[in-house]
């Protein structure tokens, strides 16, 4: 089972910041939080990941609370092309120290004109 919970859907106005929350209250101290998105049934696309410090790249920013039990993905200036399903994932570790991405239902972000 996924180790994260996300709201099923959110709306955002074009040009505004989109803030997507994620709860991961059972996260362990050395587990990263990963964000992927899936645009209209294409293959998922990596966005960003983090451990405990806030992270920023050309696509988004990731804010992780100090207790690491939740995080927020921020798209600073959402465009219509950012309409997608966003997945927050904490990796599941299996045998042989192999990590597996287990996807939950994600948040459907609708960016509106």
Partner 1 sequence: NAGVTQTPKFRVLKTGQSMTLLCAQDMNHEYMYWYRQDPGMGLRLIHYSVGEGTTAKGEVPDGYNVSRLKKQNFLLGLESAAPSQTSVYFCASSWSTGGHGYTFGSGTRLTVV
Task: Give the footprint of partner 1 on this chain (CB under 8 A).
Answer: 2, 32, 34, 36, 41-46, 49, 85, 87, 89, 91, 94-106
CB of 30 to partner 1, least distance (A): 11
SS3 content of the chain, % helix, strand, coil (to 5): 5, 45, 50
Least distance in angstroms from the C-beta of 57 to partner 1: 11
Task: Give the nearest distance from C-beta 32 to partner 1 in angstroms.
Answer: 7
Residues belonging to the chain: 113
Supply the DSSP symbol for 46: E
The dihedral formed by the CA atoms of 41, 14, 57 and 23, expressed in degrees to the nearest 10: -70
Nearer to partner 1, 74 or 102 (CB): 102
Q: Between 70 and 107, whose beta carbon lies closer to partner 1?
A: 107
What's the CA gap between 104 and 113, in Å, rounded? 28
Min separation Cβ 78 and partner 1, Å: 22
Closer residue to partner 1, CB minimum distance, 32 or 74? 32
Q: Calculate the CA 103 to chain-centre distance.
A: 11
Q: Which of 100, 99, 73 minimizes the C-alpha distance to 12?
A: 73
The smaller minimum CB distance to partner 1, of residues 25 and 45, is found at 45
């Amino acid at each position: 089972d996924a180790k994260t919970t996300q709201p099923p859907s959110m709306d955002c106005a074009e040009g505004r910041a989109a803030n997507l929350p994620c709860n991961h209250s059972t996260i362990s101290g050395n587990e990263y939080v990963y964000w992927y998105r899936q645009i209209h049934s294409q293959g998922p696309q990596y966005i960003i990941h983090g451990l405990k410090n806030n992270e920023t790249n050309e696509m988004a920013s990731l804010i992780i609370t100090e207790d690491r039990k939740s995080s927020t993905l921020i798209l600073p200036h959402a465009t219509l092309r950012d309409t997608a399903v966003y997945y927050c994932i904490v990796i599941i570790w299996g045998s042989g120290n192999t990590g597996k991405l287990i996807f939950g239902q994600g948040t459907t972000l609708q960016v509106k004109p």
